[in-house]
Amino acid sequence: MLEIRELSKIYENYGEAGRLEVLDNINMEVSREEFVSIIGPSGCGKSTIFNLLCGTEEKSGGTVTLDNIQAKPGDFSYMPQSDLLMDWKRVWENIALPLRIKGVPRFLAKERVMSESSLYGLSGFENAWPSELSGGMRQRAAFFRTMLSSGRIMLLDEPFAALDAINRERMQEWLMEVLEREKRTILLVTHSVDEAVFLSDRVYVLTPRPARVKCCVEIGLKRPRGCELLTSPEFNDYKAVLLKNLAEGGEGNG
């Protein structure tokens, strides 16, 4: 479905050196309803890939197609690395933003948010201000907002990074339940190898900057997956492969 071919990004006029090469010929594929994760060292260019896909940055080379047609920014629903909730708008208004942009009347948008908020653990908080939510609730609100955007592919940039380990595991399980009810095509950036193995059908490992594809690992664990998996030998085998590739860094390209 989604094909990223030889994607490259160079920031020109950058510091002393004059240029910063961030992405070097990245190739990736994502099939319909597949859950694919990207892991790689901090600063290697993961968020840059998302910024190029949704058009907030210009690519230096390569092609991105969706069902063989050049992809447009509107094909992607983007949940950026920071939750970007607007503090001066109520929780429901934040969540309803993509509907309002599409021209859905205010009362209908509100109705939609109210009717689904319990799925996201937010019932009773629709009229609160973002500052009154916990970190996990803010992230669920940001995720709910992303679910209401009409892009065919969801781009999630470290959606659980702000949470401690226990809450993070809860959110991962919760995310899997939501996705079992409502299938989506997802590309996720994470620093957590556990999270990548637990959630994904496939994981791309990137090298340090300029990022190249070090390897792509199929995660053959059966679904539905529960937290008992986290201590299983197979789970640890996948983790070991990913950690080894991360530690090696270096060369790579597909």
Ligand X SMILES: Nc1ncnc2c1ncn2[C@@H]1O[C@H](COP(=O)(O)OP(=O)(O)OP(=O)(O)O)[C@@H](O)[C@H]1O
List of residues contacting ligand X (CB under 6 A): 11, 14, 20, 22, 40, 42-48, 81, 209
Of the candidates 191, 212, 189, 190, the residue with the CA atom closest to the CA atom of residue 21: 212
Say how far apart CA 111 and CA 99 lie, in whole Å.
11
Indicate the residue type of 148.
L
Q: How far is the CB of 48 from ligand X (least distance, A)?
A: 3
Please tell me whether residue 93 adopts helix, strand or coil conformation: helix
11 to each of 20, 38, 47, 56, how far by Cα in Å? 5, 21, 14, 14
Question: Is 47 a binder of Mg ion (CB under 5 A)?
Answer: yes
How big is the CA angle at 199 (ends 39 and 227), to the nearest 5 degrees? 125
From ligand X, Mg ion, none, interface partner of 45 (C-beta below 5 to 8 A by class)? ligand X
Q: Nearer to Mg ion by C-beta: 9 or 46?
A: 46
Q: Nearer to Mg ion by C-beta: 41 or 121?
A: 41
From Mg ion, ligand X, none, interface partner of 77 (C-beta below 5 to 8 A by class)? none
Phi-psi region of 35 (alpha: psi -120 to 50; beta: other; left: phi over 0): beta
Q: Nearer to Mg ion by C-beta: 93 or 195?
A: 195
Q: Which stretch binds Mg ion (CB under 5 A): 28-36, 46-54, 72-80, 108-116?
A: 46-54
Phi, psi of 221 (to 5 degrees): -75, 135
Q: How many residues bind Mg ion (CB under 5 A)?
A: 2
From Mg ion, ligand X, none, interface partner of 43 (C-beta below 5 to 8 A by class)? ligand X
Q: Nearer to Mg ion by C-beta: 46 or 214?
A: 46
From Mg ion, ligand X, none, interface partner of 53 (C-beta below 5 to 8 A by class)? none
Q: In 60-219, which ranges are E strands?
A: 61-66, 69-70, 76-79, 153-157, 185-189, 202-206, 213-218
From Mg ion, ligand X, none, interface partner of 90 (C-beta below 5 to 8 A by class)? none
Q: Which stretch binds Mg ion (CB under 5 A): 44-52, 134-142, 195-203, 234-242?
A: 44-52
Please tell me whether residue 36 adopts helix, strand or coil conformation: strand
Q: How far is the CB of 67 from ligand X (least distance, A)?
A: 26
Q: Nearer to Mg ion by C-beta: 46 or 212?
A: 46
How big is the CA angle at 4 (ends 78 and 186), to the nearest 5 degrees? 40
- Which chain residues interact with Mg ion by CB under 5 A? 46-47
